[in-house]
Structure 1
Amino acid sequence: MPNKCVMDSKRLSANVQSNRNTDLTQSTEDDPLIDGPLISKDALESSIKREFQKLPTAWTAGLLMVVHVVLVGLCVTLAVVCVLVGNHAEECEVALSGLDTVAAVLLAKTALWLLVFLFERCVQHQHSMARRRGYLRFYRVTRELQHMPLLIHSAGNAAVLVVMAPSSILDKRVRNLSVYLLIVIICVELLASIICLTKYTVHVLRFNKQSPSPDVSEEEHSHTFSAGTSVTRTETGFRDGSSLEEVVEKQADLIEYLKQHNTQLSKRLLALSSQQARA
C-alpha cells in the first residue's frame, strides 16, 4: 500500500512538471521574443528623435518688411507728387491709366493687407507644427507676435475708412486734409509693423540658432542638473501670483505632446518587435 502511494505521488509530480513544461513551451511560442535580445534604448530613441527643423518664417518676415517699405514709399511719393504738389497731375493720370491717385494708394494698401493676411496664416501654420513637435514655450512666447501685424494693418484700414468717408468735408475745411491724414496713417502703420516684425524675426532667428530640444527634454536635463547640484527648482503646479488659465494651458499642451510622443513610441516599438520576431 505505501508503495502504491509513492508511485501515485511520483506520477502526480511528473504530470505537474509536464504541465509546467507545456505552459512554458506555449508561453515561448506565444511570445517569440522571450529568449531574444531586448530592444536597446538607443535604437528606440534614435528612431523617435527627429532632427531639429528650423522655422522658415524669418526670411518671410524680412521679405514682408521690404515689400511694406517699398509700397509705403511709392504711396507717399504718389500722394505728394500727384496730389499735394499738383504740378504733375496730368503725368500721374497718364502713368496710372486714368486711375485716381488716392484710389491707387487705397488699392496698394488693400494688396498689402492681403499679403499680411497670408503671412499670418503661414506663421500660424508653422508655429502650430512647432507646437506639435514639443516647443510649447516658444509657441507661447511668440503667440501674440503672430497676430500683431494683421491687427496693426486691420486697425490701419479702419482708420483709413474713418478718414476717407468724410473726405469731402475734411477737404473743405483744410485743403487735402484727408490725404495728409492718409499719409500719417500709413506711416504710423509702417513704423508699428516694422517694430513688430523685427521683434518676431529676432525671436525666430534665436530659436533657429539655438536648435533646442523639445521642452520635455529640456526640463529633464534641468531637473537632472538641479538634482546634481542640490538645487530644487521647478515650475510645475499652481502657486500664488500665477495664472490658473496659463497653468491649465501648459498642462494641456504638454499632455497633447506626450500623447503624440507615446503614439510614435508605441508604433516604433511594435515595428522593432516584429523585426526581431522575423529574425
Structure 2
Amino acid sequence: MESKGPSLYAAGTSVDMSRSLDEDSMVDGPLISPDVLHSAIRREFQTVPTPCHAGLLSLLHVVFVVLSMCVGVMCVLKFGQEEVCTSILHNVPGDSVILFGKVCLWVLVLLFSGCVQHHHNRARSRGYLRFYRQTQGLKHLPLTVYSAGNVLLLVLLAAQLPLKWHTYMLLSILGLELLVALPCLLYYTVKVMQFNRERAAPDVSQEEHSHNFSVTNLSTETGFREGSSLEEVVEKQADLIEYLKQHNTLLSKRLLNLTAQH
C-alpha cells in the first residue's frame, strides 16, 4: 500500500509537467499580430445595397406622376387626344387607371420598406448600431408618406366631387405626394451612400479605438446617462451584447485560421 503513493505522486507530477509544457508551448508559439487580425475582420464590411432600390423607386414615382398627369389631362378632362386614349385604355376610365397605378406603386413601396428593414437589421447585427438608429425613422418615411397619400385619395373618393374638380384634386394629391416623398428618398440615399463610402469599423471597435486616446470621448453610449431613456439604454445594451457574441464567434474562427496558417 505504501509503495503506491510515490507512483501516484510521480504520475500526477508527470501530468502536471506535461500540462505545463503544453501551456508553455502555446505561449511560446508564434503570436498573431493584432493588425493582421484587425485587417482580416475589417474585410468583412458589407455595403447596404438599398440606394439602388431607392433610386429605382424614385424614378418609377416620377414616371408614374408624369403619366398620371397625361392621362388625367387627355383622357379624363379630354383636352386633346381622345382617340388615342380610347385605343389605349379601351373602356377603362382614366381616373381608375390612375388609382390602379397608385395601388401598384404603394405595393412597390411596401416591398422596398421590407427590403430596407432586412438590410438594416443585417447592418445592426454586424455592429453598426449608430447607423441603424440614425436611419430608423428615415427608412419608414416613404411608406408613411405613400400611406398618407392613399388616405387622402380615399377621402377624395368619398367626397364624390364633380369630375373636373375630382381630377384636379387627384392630380394635386399625386403631385404633393411626389414633392414630399422624393426628398425623403434622396436624403435616405445620400445617408446610406455616405455609410457605404466610409466603410467604418463597427461601433464597438470605434469605441475601443477612441478610448486609447481619450477616456471621455466615446463614440457609443452603453451606460445610463442623465436625460437618457431607460428603454433606449436597455435596447443599446441588448444590441451590443448580440453583436459581441457574433463578434467573438468570428474572432475565434479568424484566430483558428491564422494560427493554422502560421
The match for 1:23 among 8, 15, 20 is 15
Hey, what does 2:47 align to over in structure 1? 54
Residues 1-279 of structure 1 aligned to structure 2 (within 5 Å): 18-19=10-11, 21-24=13-16, 26-27=18-19, 34=26, 37-42=29-34, 44-167=37-160, 170-171=161-162, 175-227=163-215, 232-234=216-218, 235-269=221-255, 275=260
Contact 1:28–1:34 (CA under 8 A) maintained in structure 2: no
SS in 1 for 2:47: coil
Contact 1:39–1:272 (CA under 8 A) maintained in structure 2: no
| Displacement after TM superposition at 1:190 (Å) | 0.7
List per-residue Cα deviations over 1:39-93 (Å, max 9, x = no partner).
5244554544434222211122112111110110000111012222444334312
Contact 2:62–2:178 (CA under 8 A) maintained in structure 1: yes
Opposite residue 248 of structure 2, the aligned amino acid is N
| Displacement after TM superposition at 1:160 (Å) | 0.8
Between 1:11-20 and 1:79-88, the stretch displaced more is 11-20
Opposite residue 162 of structure 1, the aligned amino acid is V
SS in 1 for 2:213: helix
Between 1:191-200 and 1:33-42, the stretch displaced more is 33-42
Contact 1:93–1:100 (CA under 8 A) maintained in structure 2: no
List per-residue Cα deviations over 1:88-129 (Å, max 9, x = no partner).
334312221221101110111111112111211111111111
Contact 2:113–2:143 (CA under 8 A) maintained in structure 1: yes
Opposite residue 206 of structure 2, the aligned amino acid is E
| Displacement after TM superposition at 1:265 (Å) | 2.4
In 2, the alpha carbon distance for the partners of 1:83 and 1:147 equals 34
The answer for unaligned runs of 5 or more in structure 1 is 1-7
Opposite residue 256 of structure 1, the aligned amino acid is E
The answer for unaligned runs of 5 or more in structure 2 is none
Opposite residue 91 of structure 2, the aligned amino acid is G
Contact 2:129–2:203 (CA under 8 A) maintained in structure 1: yes
Q: Which has more radius of gyration? A: 1
| Displacement after TM superposition at 1:164 (Å) | 1.4
1:35–1:73 CA distance, 2 compared to 1 (3 A): closer
List per-residue Cα deviations over 1:159-211 (Å, max 9, x = no partner).
111111332xx21xxx5222111111111111111011011011011111211
Could you state the TM-score of these two structures normalised by the residue count of structure 1?
0.81
Contact 1:64–1:116 (CA under 8 A) maintained in structure 2: yes
Opposite residue 15 of structure 2, the aligned amino acid is D
In 2, the alpha carbon distance for the partners of 1:166 and 1:107 equals 19
1:35–1:62 CA distance, 2 compared to 1 (3 A): closer
Q: RMSD between aligned alpha carbons?
A: 3.0
Contact 2:42–2:201 (CA under 8 A) maintained in structure 1: no
Identity of aligned residues (%): 48
In 2, the alpha carbon distance for the partners of 1:31 and 1:223 equals 32
List per-residue Cα deviations over 1:224-244 (Å, max 9, x = no partner).
1215xxxx2343422222222
